Every structure is written in C-alpha cells, then in structure tokens.
Structure 1
Amino acid sequence: MADKKRVSPLMFLPPVIFLGLAALFFIGVGREDRDALPSMLIGKPAPALAVEPLYGEIFDEGVLRGGAVTLVNFWASWCGPCRDEHPLLEALAAEGVAIYGINYKDKPANALRFLDQLGNPYAGIAADPAGRTAIEWGVYGVPETFVLDGQGRVVLRHPGPLTAAVIETSLRPAIERAAAAE
C-alpha cells in the first residue's frame, strides 16, 4: 500500500496572506488622496504673519481679512515646482484673483530676479527668511497655496505645485465656496 500524504490546510495560508496584503497595497496605491496632507487650519482664521518686506511695502493680516477672497502662495526662487506653477499664478492674477506671495527661506536678490524673469503675479509680497510664518501655517514645503475667505479663514490648503487640473478641480471650487461664504 502506498502512503497517502495528507495535505495540510496550513500550506495555503502563506499564499492567502500574500494575496490579502497585495490587495490592500493596490487599494492604497489607487487612492486619489494619497498625496493629501491634512491641515488643522481649514475653517479657522489664517495665522499671524511674521514676515519682512521683500521690496516695497509689506502686506499684513488686514489685507487677508479685507472682505475679499485671497490666495496666499508660499514660494522660493530655488524651488523648481514653483517655477512650473508660476505661469498658472500669472493667469489667475490676470483673471483678477488676488494672490499674496510669501517668499520662503530665500535670498532677496534671487527672489527679485525670479520675479523679474517670470513676472510678478502677486498683489502683495513678503519674505519669510527664517520660515517662522511657514511653520505657523503648517507648510511642509514649497510651493503651497491657501485659499482664504473674506474674513481670512482658510478654506483650502494645497500642498505642492498648482496644475491646470488642480486649479479646475480644487482651487476654483474653493474660491467659489469662499466667495459664497461672504
């Protein structure tokens, strides 16, 4: 008589575990919000500004709470994605969107050269040489853009560069929500 080998149900356990983990991985990779970084500022007043003039007069919190929807864009001349998004900021400014720029940890001469080369889409601009304001605003890196309603409350925080798709799917709807809240 030949010995029949018994098949243990435990031998199927490793492949089942592997398939389960693989499915969880693919579900996680497919999530659209995987790059989203949470912001505790949504719905709250924008933090105070601890900024310096880059050139000309500096803008202050009063401008950001002046009754109109505004964008605050943290940027730097050394930031490649900032250069990529700059034409889109210029287009928004040409449409009449008020954008305030905060130059982050940059040399003033480099920041001014950046604006001379690419244009200045900002209604007001300030420098954050130590990054203190960026910390208060919860900025992870540049570029980052915030939409504020007329009372200076944060409606949207977008980490990373703006793209045409981001403007249409996130930024414009946030601007409309902010305008409706006035």
Structure 2
Amino acid sequence: MKWSDALLAGLVLGLAACGQAQETQPLLPPESMTRDPEVPPPVEVPAAVESTRQDILGFTKRGSLSGLARFAEGNEGFVSNLEGTPHREFWDLLRRTGIDPNLKLKALFDQPVGRRDVDGETWYIWPDLAAKDPGDLIPEKLSFQDRKRLRDLIGEDGVNRIRQGEAYPGMRTAIAEDGRWVYFVLGLDGEE
C-alpha cells in the first residue's frame, strides 16, 4: 500500500469515527432557544380606562390637536414632554416636523395593552412592551413575535439601549385605572 493510500484510508476512518461520535452525542441548543416563551393572556382594561381610550381616539379621528390638548389638560399631572411646553404647542411642533400625534396615538392603541403598578395605582400602558421591566425586555426573554414587534417599534438602537439597562425607549401612552390619562411621550431623547 502506498503512503498516499494509507493516508487516505486513515482520513476516511477518522471521519467515520467523528461521524459516530456526533451520532452518539448530538449537539443540542439550550432549551431556551428551542421553545417560545409563554405568551401572557391579554390584559382586560376597566371601563374607565376604555372610556378614556375612546375619548382620546375620538379626538385623533377628527385630527384635533386643540381638543386633544384640552382633554389632556383636564387630566391632573398629564405629561406630554419634559420641557414644560404646553401640550398643544408641543404637538403642533411635532406635526410640523412630520410626526403627527393623532396618528401616533391611533397606532399605539392598535398595540396590545400592558399593566403596571405605579405608586399604589394600576396604569394601563400601550404598547404592552412599555409596561415591562427593562430586564424582561431583553429580546431573548420575549416570544419571537414580541422580539419582532420590539425591533419594529424601537429599532436596533432602542434594543441596544434596553440591553444597557434602560427602560422602554419608544413612544408610549398610559391611562390610570380610574380613567385619568397619565402621559403620552414619544420616547425621543430627553422625552423619557
């Protein structure tokens, strides 16, 4: 037998042995990668929350920033921005820069709702992902569907911010259990 034939035979036997080793000890991904995290049941909102949601949607359907601002002002402590700019003025500025608050609110209310306890009261938050703790928003802890939604809502930069321990950095709105509209923030830098 030539040395090249012997080398070839040795390689074939070695590859066969490797194949047998893989058959006896298959490599499996961790369980967390093979099953989808459990999807929580939908959150039911109280009548007062749904009533406020419908009131807000009424203003958004009419495209009325003035009506929306008056409604917001009627809710004690409502926040639309952290600079203290009046709601109507702030939302008008957003509209002139290409961000229509009415359309954004409609889009938010099309998302699932989440629930979070804040200072002794329950808030209903859209989208539901904004109600989660930062540690629970890490994509690997979410269902595949929620991972995609998270990326669609806040982009890769937002996901990186969450990985650094920040809270949900995107647009969101909340209504307290008594029907008080708490906030509508866009999640822009400085608007968290």
How does the TM-score come out when normalised to structure 2?
Answer: 0.22
Larger Rg: 2
- Per chain length, whose mean CA-contact separation is higher, i.e. which structure has more relative contact order (CA < 8 Å, sep 6+)? 1
How does the TM-score come out when normalised to structure 1?
Answer: 0.23
Task: Give the structure with the higher percent strand.
Answer: 1
Task: Give the structure with the higher percent helix.
Answer: 2
